[in-house]
Copies of this chain bind each other. A is one copy, B any other.
Amino acid sequence: RYGQAETDHQIGAATGLAYTQAGGDTLSIEVSLSKGTGKLTLTGKLGDVMKESAKAAFSYIRSRTDELKIEPDFHEKYDVHIHVPEGATPKDGPSAGITMATALVSALTNRPVRKEVGMTGEITLRGRVLPIGGLKEKSLSAHRAGLTTILMPAENEKDLEEIPDSIKEDLNFVKVKHLDEVLDQALLPPNEDE
């Protein structure tokens, strides 16, 4: 399934783009909520920077519950687990920040994530989207995986030049400056039937 787009719109799971020495790869970010007391668990052999990035995404969402239509006290009523399969592969860096934020909001609002969307970008506590590295390699892997829309930091615009035209024909690159734009692009309306 990895290296492929999701076959359904998923709640609580979003597709990120990773860049390693071996090239680009897609990675799935999974969020699980259970009744609890506000514990945040982060797994998937994540490095310190990636864990901090998850905490920044989490704090941003906590501070914006009104605007995001999330229960204001969700973090006291649920335990939140963010996992990034494949569990044996080390992962690090801040560029999954907006993907983790998207998966979190999806899980908390019951809004599915569009299956054809991949994304990459550091998130800040104010929801800003900061630039990332490896856009070319990430785009190639997104293409291979069958994704059709890539959400990327506006500040990475210059990196689009390096991307082959054949890829640009198939992939819709959407430049974003703030998480609000990410969520608008990536999330569907709430799923009522669970």
How many protomers of this protein does the assembly include?
Answer: 6
Whether B33 lies near A85 (C-beta < 8 A) is no
Q: Considering the complex, which residues of chain A in the window 69-91 have a beta carbon less than 8 Å from any beta carbon of chain B?
A: 72-73, 75, 79, 81, 83, 85-88
Q: Which residues of B contact A168 (CB under 8 A)?
A: none
Most B C-beta atoms less than 10 A away, residue of A44, A48, A59 = A59
> When the two chains form their complex, are residues A34 and B48 in contact, meaning their CB atoms are under 8 A apart?
no
> Contacts A35-B72, A43-B56, A73-B35 known; A30 to B126 CB distance under 8 Å?
yes
* Interface residues in A, total, Cβ within 8 A: 47
The answer to whether A52 and B1 touch (CB under 8 A), given A59-B34, A126-B10, is no
Contact (A87, B41) CB under 8 Å given A31-B125, A63-B32: no
A93 close to B88 (CB less than 8 A): yes
A10 to B79, CA, bound (A): 31
What residues on B are CB-neighbors of A83 within 8 Å? 52, 56, 59, 124-125
Closest to A129 in B: B1
A62 at interface (Cβ–Cβ under 8 A)? Answer: yes
A135 located at the interface, meaning its Cβ lies under 8 Å from any Cβ of chain B in the complex: no
Please name 10 further chain A to chain B contacts, defined as beta carbons within 8 Å, in addition to the given A56-B83, A85-B128, A87-B97, sorted by A numbering.
A1-B130, A10-B126, A32-B126, A35-B62, A45-B49, A56-B87, A59-B83, A83-B125, A85-B124, A87-B94
Chain A to chain B contacts (Cβ below 8 Å), 18 pairs = A12-B126, A13-B126, A30-B125, A32-B60, A32-B62, A32-B125, A34-B75, A35-B72, A36-B75, A41-B55, A45-B48, A49-B87, A55-B81, A59-B79, A59-B81, A86-B94, A87-B122, A88-B93
List the 6 closest pairs (A to B, CB-CB), nearest first.
A87-B94, A34-B62, A30-B125, A43-B52, A59-B81, A32-B125
